Structure 1
């Protein structure tokens, strides 16, 4: 085969599969997963990351997990064999097909095992809608890519540092896939198929460049040192370290005293206020500065109707139970003050406030301000620990293993089966479709940090006014501008709005690296399987 014919075959093979996947997803109207299609022929390990996210979300038993895992590893190895062979530089003797097939099948299996923990973290990110998990899953991926480029090409690929060319080409592929994912996830119809196919052709060109760079490196540093096994070990530890640092929702640990607690409310505010802290917070019983403000207690009230001190472990309870305790506290505060009640919640506290409104749409609460709420959570699922099967059963046990290791160095244990997480997973149709949706008679505003743009697929995410602030999760409520807008809402009874120009582009750019949502209609564990699914419609608050 001539060099020109080989290049043409490489480009056709690399382009055909992304176009086919995009066509299938477009035909199914599966908008939330369109950003993944261009990755199917990407260079290692991005293509493996693509495969595993589908497998970890879409298996409903151990049998099917094993079949799917081995199946995608086999297909990935065979596809990589063909791509490497077609990308082989002219004038360089190519190994036999048998050698290439054996090596690429071995590397495909090894890559799947290595990357599986990071793919599991991306599924966790889809479950609790926390971008930190998504970022934690991508860092090892980018780090290992230059090392894995050599694996299916050269004999002693585990020795020496990858060349600067390999680093550059792998970073370029990440950038191309990110941009392509933002375009495909935002498009419709055959335009999506065309973009996916063109990106696949770009993947083919990058396979050509990376194979050449692996075979003909300008200079190999530490050529006799087995660097790659050390890199693998570091990469495997990264998700564990990240999970230990982040915690399960990064809701803000330690004593929580935003301005609404530490300062008196202006006289223009006629509401009583309950402030709800986030996951991992604790409360020592110290009252707020203003007597019309109370701190929500995850333990409830004492005999005199005062919020009880609580520990961080008390925030791990289900959202339903927290909402019931909030209902008791709302009624007690309303009786004591005679005022309408406003709820100011952060992170998990915001979710407790929203759950309360769902359970008690008619109540003394007429204003709810949600700071750093979880945006479209519940997009993934895994069954409880005692279940023998169910969608994501293997993923659940992989996450349990990750948490078990990180809990060895923690005082307060986090558990992917704790009631807070399970209450989101088990009621996913509501939290996915209804979290940021209006409630009649209640003024609602969501204060969103820009990092939440990476937490949900492109498309509508809110049916209530939003105020977007440059910040990380949990970092909005302490800012002066947020405190002033909080007071403005309480004093005037009018919503505030601010949409930042970078929010929508960041939302689209993250689409390529999110796990595909589990469709509401397929999971028998969800009671409301006929609920409108934003993964299909691209819209929230439908049918409410």
Structure 2
């Protein structure tokens, strides 16, 4: 076959697979994961990352996981062997097909082992809607990508450093897949498969240049050093290291100190205010400067109705238990002040407040301000450890392994802690679709850091006013401008300040999220579904 025909064949194969995947997703009206389609022929390891995220969400027993993993590794190895063979430079001798197939099957198996923890962290990101977990799952793969790409073309690829050119093509592949995912998601259903086809053709060009760069380095640096094992060990340790860094610091006393706690409340504010801190926060028992302001305590009130100090571990209880404690604290403050109540919650605190208001139509609460709420959690599921089957069972045990290793150094991380389980169990559909919805009789607003745009599928995500702020999760409540906006809203002003880049970030980030588990498939969630609901409908927000 001539070089030009080989290139055309390469582009055809690389484009056909995303086209087929996108066409299937459009055919069943499953829009949320369509941005993943271009990765079906992405260059290592993004192709395996694509496969494992689908597998970790859509298996419901160890048997289906094992068979699915075997099929994914085999098909990925065979497809990659075809792509490498078609991308091989014409002026270089090409190894026999059986050698390429054997090598790529081996690399596919190795990549599956390497990528599995990162895919599991992506599952965790979709369970609790935290953007930093997306970056933990994606970041190490950016580092290991050029090393794996060298291994797929010939022996000795596990030694030495990849060339700068190979690093460059690898980074371009990441950018191309991010942009392609956004374009595929943004296209109308009739155009989606064609956009996926075009993205696959770009993948083919990148395979061509990547294979050339892997085979033709000018100089291989550190040619005798086993760089791949070293890099893989470092990359695979990243999820554990990040868990250690996220742990509460020793001796932590109070991690939530917004200005409204340390300053008198403005006279024009007609409410008494309860401040709810987030996960892993602590409280030392200090009273607020203004007697109309109280901290929510995750352990309750003392005999005199004052919030008790609590350690970070107290925030791990279920949302239902925390909401029950909040009910008592709302009633106590309302009786003492005679004022309606405003709740200001950050992260988990926002979810506690939202859970409380879901079940209490006669509450004295008239304002809810949510800062960094978990906007679209519970998009995936994994059963509790005592279960012997259930959707995502292997993902759950992968996460337990990662957190278990982190617990060698810290002891406050558990993917089965009551808070996390309360998000993804029977109430999962509520948190997935109702968190950002209006509440009768309550003025509601959400302050969202722009980083949260990468953690949930694109499209409408709220039917309440939002203020989008350039910030990280739970990182802006103490800003002076935000404090002014809090007082304005509590004084009766209406706020709505979206940012134009938020939608762009949603689309770019959509390629790196796990596909959502269809609600009607999961028996744990199914009971709460209205009759006649279309199973793959993406826009179920507030319905």
Cα offset, 1:16, TM superposition = 0.3
Report matched runs for 1:395-544 at 5 Å. 395-410=395-410, 412-426=411-425, 427-492=427-492, 494-526=493-525, 527-530=527-530, 536-543=536-543
In angstroms, what is the RMSD of aligned CA positions?
1.5
Output one character per residue of 1:100-140: Cα deviation in whole Å (capped at 9) or x when no partner: 11111010000000000000000100000000000011111
Which runs of structure 2 are paired with 1:360-371 in the superposition (5 Å)? Answer: 360-371=360-371
CA–CA separation in structure 2 for the residues paired with 1:446 and 1:533: 28
Aligned partners of 1:77 and 1:356: how far apart in 2?
50
Cα distance in 2 for residues equivalent to 1:105 and 1:50: 17
TM-score by length of 2: 0.97
Report the Cα distance in structure 1 between the residues aligned to 2:361 and 2:531, rounded to whole angstroms. Answer: 20
Distance, in Å, in 2 between the alignment partners of 1:478 and 1:533 is: 42
Q: Confirm or deny that 1:380 pairs with 2:380.
A: yes
| Alpha-carbon shift at residue 535 of structure 1 (Å) | 9.2
Superposed CA deviations along residues 154-184 of structure 1, whole A, max 9, x for unmatched, are 1111111001111011111111100000111
Q: 1:2 maps to which residue?
A: 2
SS of residue matched to 1:384: coil
Sort the Cα spacing of 1:58 and 1:531 in 2 relative to 1 into closer, same or farther, 3 A.
Answer: farther
For the residue of structure 2 that corresponds to 1:53, the secondary structure is: helix
Residues 359 and 281 of structure 1: is their aligned pair in 2 closer, same or farther, counting only changes over 3 Å?
same
Which residue of the partner structure matches residue 27 of structure 1?
Answer: 27
> Distance in 2 between the 1:371 and 1:457 partners?
19
> The residue matched to 2:523 in structure 1 has which SS?
coil
Residues 532 and 542, structure 1, Cα contact 8 Å, conserved in 2: no
**Contact kept in structure 1, 2:253 and 2:311, CA below 8 Å:** no
CA apart distance, 1:529: 3.8
Q: For residues 152 and 253 of structure 1, do their structure 2 counterparts lie closer, same or farther at Cα, with a shift above 3 Å needed? A: farther
After TM superposition, the score normalised by the length of structure 1 is 0.97
In 2: Cα distance, 1:536 partner to 1:259 partner: 44
2:306 matched residue in structure 1: 306
Q: Partners in 1 of 2:27 and 2:450 — Cα distance? A: 32
Instruction: Please tell me whether the aligned partners of residues 57 and 395 of structure 2 are also in contact (alpha carbons under 8 angstroms).
Output: yes
Aligned 1:319-330 pairs, distance under 5 A: 319-330=319-330
How far does the alpha carbon of each residue in 1:299-354 deviate from its partner, in whole angstroms, 9 at most, with x for none? 01111111111111000000011001101110111111100000000000000000
Q: CA deviation at 1:62?
A: 0.5
Seen in structure 2, the aligned counterparts of structure 1 residues 532 and 165 have a Cα distance that, compared at 3 Å, is: farther
Q: Determine the structure 1 residue equivalent to 2:165.
A: 165
Secondary structure (helix, strand or coil) at the match of 1:467 reads: strand
CA distance in 2, matches of 1:283, 1:533: 44
Q: State the distance in 2 between where 1:347 and 1:288 align.
A: 20
Q: 1:239 to 1:533 in 2, by over 3 A?
A: farther
Gaps of 5+ in 1: none
Q: How far did residue 35 of structure 1 move?
A: 0.5
Q: Which residue of 2 aligns with 1:244?
A: 244
Structure 1 residues 204 and 137: CA distance shift in structure 2, 3 A:
same
Q: Does the 8 Å contact 1:522/1:529 carry over to 2?
A: no
